[in-house]
């Protein structure tokens, strides 16, 4: 909420459940699908993992349904961490249940006590993300143990950590949709480049 305010927007929290989602999006000019607990693996044909935490069936149903509607709209959208995973699942992709099982621990994406951690990413040149951030390599603050596996239909990977984990995706030919795996809100106030993601969203929202 602070990051949206600092970018010149007015944050509104959408309550989970009990609303006509098609009517709901008429009251907003842009949307952020934020971070949070793990998504129930049943939604993407995955298996439960011992590290799964904070699974919320009601939130899963709400956000998956909302994402389906938003994808058919022209609403400027920023997905963060869990939000990026929601996007991938809706488009037919799946998730890696626990990053260390596949990529090892050459790069930590959260500390052992589940706290945020800094690491480097590489951004694909000429991607929407690279244009917004004006960078090809940057330090980000991550806080996740799952990541995208098979990409959903229409998604392009545009950023990776050094271990190969996908850190950002974009919808082909759709600059209104940007999805990152890290948490730009955690240091947007101190890092102007992180704030660019929110400035870009608010700018597009005001034009919509």
* Pair 33, 67: CB distance under 8 Å: yes
* Active-site residue flag, 175: no
* Active-site residue flag, 49: no
* Active-site residue flag, 81: yes
Alpha helices in the chain (DSSP H): 2-6, 21-24, 57-71, 82-90, 99-103, 128-133, 192-207
* Pair 116, 186: CB distance under 8 Å: yes
Among residues 63, 170, 185, 194, the one annotated as catalytic is 185
* Cβ contacts of 190 within 8 Å, gap of 6 or more: none
DSSP 122: E
Buried b (16+ CB within 10 A) or exposed e, 6-20: ebebeeeeeeeeeee
Tokens 């850190």 sit on residue: 167
Q: Both tokens of residue 28?
A: 């907003």
In angstroms, rounded to a whole number, what is the distance separating the alpha carbons of residues 88 and 92?
Answer: 6
Among residues 81, 109, 167, 194, the one annotated as catalytic is 81
Among residues 119, 144, 145, 183, the one annotated as catalytic is 183
Catalytic residue list:
81, 183, 185
């Amino acid at each position: 909420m602070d990051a949206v305010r600092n970018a010149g927007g007015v944050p509104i929290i959408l309550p989970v459940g009990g609303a006509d989602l098609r009517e709901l999006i008429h009251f907003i000019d842009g949307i952020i699908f934020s971070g949070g607990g793990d998504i129930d693996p049943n939604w993407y044909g995955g298996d439960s993992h011992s590290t799964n935490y904070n699974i919320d069936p009601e939130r899963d149903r709400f956000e998956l349904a909302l994402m389906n509607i938003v994808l058919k709209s022209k609403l400027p959208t920023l997905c963060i961490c869990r939000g990026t995973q929601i996007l991938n699942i809706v488009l037919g992709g799946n998730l890696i249940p626990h990053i260390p099982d596949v990529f090892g621990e050459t790069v930590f994406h959260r500390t052992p006590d589940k706290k945020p951690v800094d690491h480097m990413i590489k951004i694909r040149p000429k991607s929407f993300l690279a244009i917004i951030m004006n960078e090809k390599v940057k330090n980000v603050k991550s806080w996740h143990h799952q990541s995208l596996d098979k990409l959903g239909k229409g998604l392009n990977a545009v950023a990776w950590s050094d271990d190969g984990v996908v850190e950002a995706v974009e919808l082909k030919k759709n600059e209104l949709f940007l999805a990152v795996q890290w948490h730009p809100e955690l240091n947007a106030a101190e890092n102007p480049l992180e704030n660019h993601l929110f400035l870009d969203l608010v700018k597009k929202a005001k034009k919509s």
